[in-house]
Amino acid sequence: MTIKAGDKMPAGTFKQMTAEGPKEVSAEALFAGKTVVLFSVPGAFTPTCDAKHLPGFVQHADAFKAKGVDAIVCVSVNDMFVMNAWGKASNVGDKVAMLADGNGDYARALGLELDARGFGMGMRGQRFAIIAKNGVATQVNVEAPGKFEVSSAEYVLGQL
């Protein structure tokens, strides 16, 4: 079942590379008592994700904070080492948390997995953006195949 506005964010864990080394981040800790924008890309360093999706959230991070967003989170079905390298290459600093959903478990829990085997990428997460307040999805924006519109930073910013 695909998550929709009004649904509780599912339980799960992500991996994140920190200055102290690998760290697990629980969905509960990520979302509890906060306003979070979680956006998903099919793959780190892939064309639209790298040129448009992530940069938009980095560029508008201050505007998100000004509208009460506590955290901006980029998630992908990549490992934490790739997500860390992508974050460094994209100069995200502390503006966007780069979290790995290495096995796609969270994408499946959301009902937003993507079969990208035809592109040689295996199972991934769809391109989407979710605004969550205190662990409840208030906006769920899932892109149509091949599109980049409703999950962009600018579109999501307009929903806050």
Give the list of residues 6+ apart from residue 110 with CB closer than 8 angstroms, or none.
2, 3, 10, 125, 130
CA distances from 70 to 30, 48, 61, 62, 63 (A): 10, 25, 10, 11, 11
Can you tell me the distance from the alpha carbon of 106 to that of 103, in angstroms, rounded to the nearest whole number?
A: 8
Can you tell me the distance from the alpha carbon of 19 to that of 10, in angstroms, rounded to the nearest whole number?
A: 27
Q: Interior CA angle at 44 toward 144 and 30, to 5°?
A: 85
List for the chain the helix, strand, coil content (%; round to 5).
30, 30, 40
CB 38 within 8 A of CB 130: yes
Q: Is 49 a catalytic residue?
A: yes
Give the list of residues 6+ apart from residue 48 with CB closer than 8 angstroms, or none.
41, 127, 148
- Annotated catalytic residue: which of 37, 44, 49, 98? 49
Return the active site residues: 49
